[in-house]
Structure 1
Amino acid sequence: MTPSSADHAPHAQMSVEEFEQLARTAPETVTLELINGKLKVKPVPDGDHDEIIMWVAMQCMQQQQPELRLYRERGLRIGGYRNGRARPDGTLARAGRFAGDGEWSNPDRVLMTVEVTSHDHDTDHRDRTEKRDGYAAAGIPVYLLIDRDHDALVVYSEPENGRYRQRTTYEYGKAAALPHPVDITLDTEELKDYAR
């Protein structure tokens, strides 16, 4: 199968088809993503990272919204013309949203993506820039970045023209309001337990 020009981002390292084939054969110890046409290796999460994702899931369940689910590592088509592939740490959607999907889902009806920064050299560019812009380009309404380097939550919302128009930062311990369509407030006091 010959990749179409629509499958390539400027300066792409590989086509989407080539990436998907590589991702299918990668060992379980490696998570691969295609962001802005470039192959990215996502580090294996540490224990605090896992606890934070579970904390987000529990916060969503406690907010009287039992129809919401936080899916871990759900493959999403992101970026302009869906030419990227990402596995957010968390993807918030209504129960049943991904039933019948294959490995990679369209981001329609995804309410929020969640990323927790890793303590590696690439987290700044990957989580704070590339993935943020990919999620905005995909029209995902809310992007929640839990920034462990700064002990803060950064809430991005109102995607327009490939960028989020709103950005609000909350320090650990402050109540963090997630805007529509998520419409919940996170009690972030517990995050202090995972600060370094």
Structure 2
Amino acid sequence: MTSGAPSDWYRWIPEQISARDYELLPEDFCRTIEVVDGHIVKCESPSRLHNRVARRIATHMEAGRKPEPCLMVDTDVDVRISDVPLSLRRPDVIVYRCLDDDAKLYAGDTVLVVEVVSPDSSFHTDTVEKKAAYAAAGIPVYLIVFLTEAADGIELIEEYRLSEGRYHLVCLHTRRLTVDSPIPVDIAFGDLASG
């Protein structure tokens, strides 16, 4: 538990939290939530397929990194959209400009985010709410991965690029994820999802 948080911290959480309130929450609890306009949004545990796809996308992006410009790849970490009101999201995969490990990761440092859609729970959040929030925050590239029950596990991946303050669909990836920038990736869907 983060120092300063009361032992019965769950009773202490206000209806709308500030950035300071968030810092007082236990780290293990923070890993299970997002904050939208100061309101806590509980995130459901993703499926094994969801986690596998996100991890493999991150691994391939990590392998494609070049020393310049300095970019980092991570999974499931806070991206600070705004401080007041506090808004932060936890994309499944994040590519961002190099920062110290203890520095807060802001949307302005982020160059690409990936969300893996869980059809039964996160479809509207990932395709509408997060798409609007990431565009408004100026994140240049947004990939949305749609899972399926089919053998390869992925139905399609939508690639959006930011232009004039909003996302424009530039590619529907149907068998392979092939992206040139900010990090080159070329991988078959089956290799992303197979067990």
Query: Normalising by structure 1, what TM-score?
Result: 0.71
- The residue correspondences of 1:42-191 to structure 2 (distance < 5 A) are 42-63=43-64, 65=66, 68-78=71-81, 83-94=86-97, 96-101=98-103, 104-121=104-121, 123-149=122-148, 151-161=155-165, 163-171=166-174, 173-178=175-180, 180=181, 182-189=182-189, 190-191=191-192
**Matched residue, 2:12:** none
> Cα deviation per residue 1:66-119 (whole Å; 9 max; x = unaligned)?
65432122211226977411111111124x424331xx4212231111111224
Shift of 1:141: 0.8
Question: Is the alpha carbon distance of 1:29 and 1:64 closer, same or farther for their aligned partners in structure 2, counting shifts above 3 Å?
Answer: closer
Across the two proteins, how many residue pairs are aligned to each other? 173
- Paired amino acid for 1:169: L
Shift of 1:177: 2.5
- Paired amino acid for 1:63: G
Mapped to 1, the partners of 2:179 and 2:94 lie a distance apart of 17
SS at match of 1:93: strand
Question: Is the alpha carbon distance of 1:175 and 1:54 closer, same or farther for their aligned partners in structure 2, counting shifts above 3 Å?
Answer: closer
- Paired amino acid for 2:160: Y
- Paired amino acid for 1:146: V
Higher mean alpha-carbon deviation, 26-35 vs 38-47, is at 26-35
SS at match of 1:133: helix
> Cα deviation per residue 1:109-138 (whole Å; 9 max; x = unaligned)?
3111111122433x1121111111111111
Shift of 1:153: 0.7
CA contact (8 A) 1:37 1:84 kept: yes
| Structure 2, unpaired ranges of 5+ | 1-14, 149-153
> Percent same amino acid among aligned pairs?
23
| Structure 1, unpaired ranges of 5+ | 1-12
CA contact (8 A) 1:112 1:141 kept: yes
- Paired amino acid for 2:171: T
- Paired amino acid for 2:111: L
Mapped to 2, the partners of 1:164 and 1:130 lie a distance apart of 13
- Paired amino acid for 1:109: D
Shift of 1:175: 4.3
**Matched residue, 1:9:** none
- Paired amino acid for 1:191: L
> Cα deviation per residue 1:118-176 (whole Å; 9 max; x = unaligned)?
2433x112111111111111111111111114611111112433x213342211x2343
Q: Find the structure with the greater CA-based Rg.
A: 2
Mapped to 2, the partners of 1:185 and 1:14 lie a distance apart of 40
